Amino acid sequence: MSTVLDTIIDGVRLDLSARQAVLTQADLERLADQAPPALDGHAALSMPGLSLIAEVKRASPSKGALADIPDPAALAAAYQSGGASVISVLTEERRFGGSLRDLDAVREAVTVPVLRKDFMVSDYQIWEARAHGADLVLLIVAALTDAELVHLHHLAGQLGMTALVEVHDETETQRAIDAGAVVIGVNARNLKTLEIHPDTFSRLSPLVPPGVLRIAESGITGPADAARYAAQGADAVLVGESLVRGGDAAAGARALLAAAHDTSLR
């Protein structure tokens, strides 16, 4: 039986073929060569205390439409002014309503590193991310074979980008480590049921070797969740829905980061 992830990736592959018919990988390689060098995403997430990856997210398979976001650049700038260390931009079109245009707009608007958040299954997408100015890319272990994971991780590194390697369980965590991941995102959203399991981070985090950054992803509804993940040793939290629905994005980002220092919230 096909999973939500399979369905998303089927759509991603169709969209990818359409783009490949317009622009070849050689074209992208030339554009990537002309792009300013990637910013250091790993360093941005290595600062003392909890860091924030704030996401530009219009819609999702689990919740449908979340927010209009007519001006992704303004949203990203607000995130940065609220203290976000990295801006995540969902570029998947069919289920998340994102695009490479959003990535371009955000890249222009902020000085912090930008993560291209998509379902990466090919070299083409990694080159495309760099050509559009991304500094980090997401690699979802569940979507890749071991060989693909190692290869795409290596390619991202060759292009100066940091890979955020996303895991959901113990086996995927070991696969991420074996592939050489230096930034591991523990996603609390079960990709089969789309339910959030907030204990996933505390279960998998001890398996991540010292020196590898640990990011808590998904289902962070507000400051108390950020404080809990900070107490559990997360280096950063990745937050979409609660920020895009919250109204004042800068204040929302600031509140999440302030919570990490407030021990009464844990």
Ligand X SMILES: O=C(O)c1ccccc1NCC(=O)[C@H](O)[C@H](O)COP(=O)(O)O
- Residues with a known catalytic role: 55, 57, 117, 166, 187, 217-218
Q: Considering only 29-37, 40-48, 218-226, 247-255, which stretch makes contact with ligand X by CB under 6 A?
A: 218-226
187 part of the interface to ligand X, by CB under 6 A: yes
172 part of the interface to ligand X, by CB under 6 A: no
* Nearer Cβ to ligand X (191/231): 191
* Nearer Cβ to ligand X (239/257): 239
* Nearer Cβ to ligand X (30/245): 245
217 part of the interface to ligand X, by CB under 6 A: yes
For residue 163, give the H/E element and its range. Answer: strand 162-167
Residues 164 and 160: their CA atoms lie apart, in Å, by 13
Residues facing 56 on adjacent strands: 89
Where helices occur in 35-114 by DSSP H, the ranges are 41-44, 72-81, 100-109
Measuring CA to CA, how many Å separate 263 from each of 9, 36, 41, 173, 228? 41, 40, 28, 29, 9
DSSP-derived secondary structure letter, 216: E
Min dist. Cβ of residue 185 to ligand X (A): 8
83, burial (CB in 10 Å: exposed 0-12, middle 13-18, buried 19+): middle
141 part of the interface to ligand X, by CB under 6 A: no
In angstroms and rounded to an integer, the radius of gyration of the C-alpha atoms of the chain is 17
Judged by CB under 6 A, the residue of 228, 241, 255, 259 near ligand X is: 241
Report which residue type is found at 247. Answer: G
For residue 147, give the H/E element and its range. Answer: helix 146-158
80 part of the interface to ligand X, by CB under 6 A: no
3-state secondary structure (DSSP) of residue 188: coil
**Closest CB to ligand X belongs to which residue?**
240
Q: Considering only 32-40, 52-60, 156-164, 207-215, which stretch makes contact with ligand X by CB under 6 A?
A: 52-60
186 part of the interface to ligand X, by CB under 6 A: no
Judged by CB under 6 A, the residue of 28, 32, 55, 223 near ligand X is: 55
239 part of the interface to ligand X, by CB under 6 A: yes
Q: Which residues are at the interface with ligand X (CB under 6 A)?
A: 4, 55, 57, 60-62, 187, 189, 191, 194, 217-220, 238-242
